Amino acid sequence: MIRIAREFFNRKTEIVAKDLLGKYLTRKTNKGIIIGKVIEVEAYLGPNDKACHCYNYKKTEKTKVMYMIPGTIYVYYIYGMYFCLNIITETEGMPCAVFIRQLYPIEGIDLMKENRKAKIGKNFKNLVDGPSKLCMAMNITKEEFNGKDSCSSSSKLFFSQGEKVNLNNIILDKRIGIGYAKEDKDLLLRFTLKQNFNSV
């Protein structure tokens, strides 16, 4: 597992988002290693993106993490009970991020199932097929990981080199749940990797 270095994240957010497809999200736990292949992401373009938490350079206690160095982990609550995972991109002070929407289970499936405490469908398709599901399955919490550096050798949550991706297998679409973002809601900044779940 080769940990992805900071230089990878210190690039244009759309490029990082596409290049994260096929990479492995790796979580080290006391019970073993959990790995999921990144197959769906969304790009958020900072101060000029009305869908971004830091639109117009907004800075709060919650969003201050987005101004940190590229490769920083940004975890936040939704609905007061679920977590969502993002990774900070571009240069320090430019609050951009890639939102991790969906994984494909690679290793530690029994641990994922144990963490989810939910009925899992055929071939584990719905095990990590949503942003909050993957956080539950990999035990990713705001308390443990928000603001931490994924590029540090001490981080128990990081991205590693995974599988090569055929660019023809990447689907571009609109981001989800951002109806408030006016014209920016129509930007094609959601990238999904075609995946055959029957092979799990």
pLDDT (tens digit, 9 = 90+) per residue, 115-153? 998 777 666 778 999 999 999 999 999 999 999 999 999
Tokens of 116: 């989810």
pLDDT for res 199: 41
Q: What is the pTM of this model?
A: 0.94
Contact 87, 100 (CB under 8 A): yes
DSSP E strand stretches across the chain: 24-29, 32-44, 73-78, 82-89, 96-107, 157-160, 170-173, 190-193
So what's the pLDDT on residue 126?
86
Average pLDDT of the residues in 25-53: 97
- pLDDT, residue 123, reads 63
Report all structural domains of the chain as residue ranges with CATH numbers, in order of start. 6-193 (3.10.300.10)
Question: Residue 26: is its pLDDT beyond 90?
Answer: yes
